[in-house]
Amino acid sequence: MSISLNANEVLAIAEEVKRNGYDFYRHIEKYSTDRNTKRLLRGLALMELHQAESYARKRSELTEEQKATTHFDPDCDSWMYLRQLADSHVFDVSRDPCRTISGDWQPEEILRAAVELEKDSIIFFLELKRYVLSSDRSVKIDDMIKEEMKHIALLGNQIGLLKSNLVLSG
Amino acid sequence: MSIKFSADEILEMAEEMERNGANFYRQVASSFTDPNKQALLNNLAVMEDQHEDIFKQMRSELSASEKEVTTFDPDDEAAMYLRAMADGHVFNVREDPTDKLTGKETMVDIIKLALGCEKDSIVFYLGLRDMVPTKAGKDKVDAVIREEMGHISLLNKQMADLT
């Protein structure tokens, strides 16, 4: 399948990924018994929401020319393909980690489930990068990837703190 | 608390990841009799060998000052990202994936394990890329990341054919 995406399409997909991310973090936050972990997950949910809103705003600022489809795709096959990819591989709240997360999970396990999904979102954005029109400089996928890396750093940092607290209390 | 690491330490970890990856693909290739599966897995092993050589070469080209431990601001996000990985808080960089093998894995099991390793490599190299001082070095890391993405596509296609 030959796909190339314009700024409007990329931002719409990124917004959807972020909204899924918001749902995911709100969902897993409920299961965390550790106060600091809960606070971090709530913070990450808000970051996801702010990013979704920022992509929606950028989309609304695009010109009609930037929004125009640049390739022949009458049935929106490429759009559907990427949307499915976003829905099924990134922050899918119906996927296993969420289904299986319960009150029995330790905070570290919940954080690790979040790390796995952040990794998936990085891979998704790297994949998306391949489809962006090289002439379109209005979308910066590298910045989107940097946001996900920041989330991983925060999650990793919290895992480290939990481990050191465990050592201190043990 | 400040964050400390050296380019030498991070590149050495990248070498180890590639070496472990190549060993993993070779070991699982030898467990199949199907020549197509063997060829696929052995080809992946050869590519990981080449990546190891790239990181080895980058490491050998580091100047004495670049090899020294650098102290970063605790709020430096790129440093925090890499430190979290190097410390094993995100995944165990030094883990040998062959340790997870029981010898009873199906091709689907192996692809799942391989996909996990490829993803881990990519997220690690994205952090490594930020730390590499030269444009030429960053381009080399980008090329490795693109190839690892290619491995993920290849493994996903195999998975789709099998399931």
Chosen for mutation from A152, A155, A161, A163 (greatest number of chain B CBs closer than 10 Å) is A152
Is residue B84 within 8 Å of residue B11, measured between CB atoms? no
Question: Who wins on pLDDT, B160 or B118?
Answer: B118
Q: Determine contact: B115 vs chain A, CB below 8 A.
A: no
DSSP A132: B
Average pLDDT over residues B112-129: 94
Distance from CA of A28 to the nearest CA of B (A): 18
Distance from CA of B160 to the nearest CA of A (A): 14
Residues of chain A with pLDDT under 50: 91-94, 96-97
- Three-class DSSP category at B5: strand
Report angle CA B22, A116, A100 to the nearest 5 degrees.
125
Q: Which amino acid is located at A79 in the chain?
A: W
Distance CA B103, CA B94 (A): 21
pLDDT of residue A94: 46
Contact residues on chain B for A153, CB-CB shorter than 8 A: 77, 80-81, 84
Contact assignment for B90 to A149 by CB distance below 8 Å? no
Residue A1 lies in a domain: no
Q: Residue B72 forms beta bridges with which residues?
A: B3
pLDDT of residue B130: 87
Chosen for mutation from A126, A130, A144 (greatest number of chain B CBs closer than 10 Å) is A126
Give the CATH number of the domain where residue A88 resides: 1.20.1260.10
Contact assignment for A150 to B77 by CB distance below 8 Å? yes
> Phi and psi (nearest 5°) for A76?
55, 40
> Phi and psi (nearest 5°) for A90?
-125, 120
**Residues in Cβ contact with B105 at an 8 Å cutoff, skipping those fewer than 6 apart:** B28, B31, B113
Nearest-Cα residue of chain B relative to residue A159 = B89
Question: In this model, does residue B13 exceed pLDDT 90?
Answer: yes
Domain B3-162 has CATH 3.30.420.40: no
Distance CA A81, CA A83 (A): 6
- Three-class DSSP category at A139: coil
How many structural domains comprise chain A? 1
Nearest-Cα residue of chain A relative to residue B120 = A119
pLDDT of residue A153: 94
Band of pLDDT at residue B136, cut at 50, 70 and 90: confident
Average pLDDT over residues B4-14: 89
pLDDT of residue A93: 44
Distance CA B10, CA A76 (A): 43
Contact assignment for A119 to B120 by CB distance below 8 Å? yes
Question: In this model, does residue B16 exceed pLDDT 90?
Answer: yes
Question: Who wins on pLDDT, B5 or A56?
Answer: A56
Report the residue from B123, B145, B152 with minimal CB separation from A152.
B123
Residue A160 lies in a domain: yes
Q: Determine contact: B127 vs chain A, CB below 8 A.
A: yes
In which domain, by residue range, is A98 found? 7-169
Q: What is the pLDDT of residues A44-65, one digit of tens each?
A: 999 999 999 999 999 999 888 7
Contact residues on chain B for A154, CB-CB shorter than 8 A: 80
In this structure, the number of other CB atoms found within 10 A of the CB of residue A130 comes to 13
Residue A2 lies in a domain: no
In B, residues 130-149, which contact A (CB 8 Å cutoff)? 145, 149
Tokens standing for residue A91 = 């922050």
User: Counting Cβ atoms within 10 Å, is residue A113 exposed (0-12), middle (13-18) or buried (19+)?
Assistant: buried
Residue A138 lies in a domain: yes
Q: What is the pLDDT of residues B42-94, one digit of tens each?
A: 999 999 999 999 999 999 998 888 888 888 888 888 888 988 888 888 888 88
Whole-number Cα distances in Å, B70 to B3, B44, B57, B67, B130: 8, 34, 21, 9, 14
Tokens standing for residue A128 = 């998306």
Q: Determine contact: B84 vs chain A, CB below 8 A.
A: yes
The region, left, alpha or beta by phi > 0 then psi within -120 to 50, assigned to residue B5 is beta
Q: What is the pLDDT of residues B30-40, one digit of tens each?
A: 999 999 999 99
Report the residue from A119, A127, A157 with minimal CB separation from B84.
A157
pLDDT of residue A128: 85
Residue A164 lies in a domain: yes
Contact assignment for A150 to B81 by CB distance below 8 Å? yes
Is residue A152 within 8 Å of residue B81, measured between CB atoms? yes
pLDDT of residue A137: 65
Contact assignment for B127 to A149 by CB distance below 8 Å? yes
Average pLDDT over residues B140-149: 94
Domain segments of chain B as ranges: 3-162
pLDDT of residue A97: 46
Q: Determine contact: B101 vs chain A, CB below 8 A.
A: no
Give percent above pLDDT 90 in chain B: 60
